[in-house]
Amino acid sequence: MLTSDINGYSLTDTGKAQAAGIAETIGNARIDGLYTSPILRAVETAQIISEKCGLKPKVDKRLMERRMGKLNNMAFGSQDDMNYAMMEEIKSGYKKGMEPWKDLQKRLRSFAESVRKGTTVIAVTHHDPILAALGIVDSKYDDYYDSTPIAMASATTIDFENKRIISISGNSISSV
């Protein structure tokens, strides 16, 4: 199901376990800030991470999932069905009200530029904002639907200052 509702869906027990796992992965790394999308499942994930890193999460609307327009809360029979519906929306020029890619990238760029240089932050966000952030650094990550899987409760690391993607979903990659 596609959703950009703020209070629509809480973390499941599996989601809580995944969030605890990513908190352990982060471990005792030096983190200067913890930011989260206002969407409930992201806030809950940030809260679990905050217990490990000791930072209070700051809610930032720029980290929200992509606005889905009339596709919001639609159920699809398969991932392929969902991808097809999104591709059709993009090809139509966003006639059903889905947030255009350039607008999504604009708000992710705004967030990245607001982070103080030389700091390391965690931003708890969602699939499309992660792809949009990757696309800011490397234009091969484009709207939509590229072949880059973003696993739930995974860590993607981007160095915006040096325009480098360090890892996607926890898998190290060569510098871009």
Note whether residue 6 is domain-resident. no
What is the CB neighbour count within 10 angstroms for residue 77?
Answer: 7
Asked whether the beta carbons of 43 and 57 are under 8 A apart, the reply is yes
Note whether residue 48 is domain-resident. yes
Residue 133 is part of a domain; what is its CATH number? 3.40.50.1240
* Tokens read off for 91: 């090809």
With cut-offs at 50, 70 and 90, classify the pLDDT of residue 35.
very high
* Tokens read off for 108: 């992710």
Would you state the pLDDT for residue 170? 60
Note whether residue 7 is domain-resident. no
The pTM score is: 0.89
Q: What is the mean pLDDT of residues 157-167?
A: 91
Whether 114 has a pLDDT exceeding 80, the answer reads yes
Would you state the pLDDT for residue 21? 92
Would you state the pLDDT for residue 144? 63
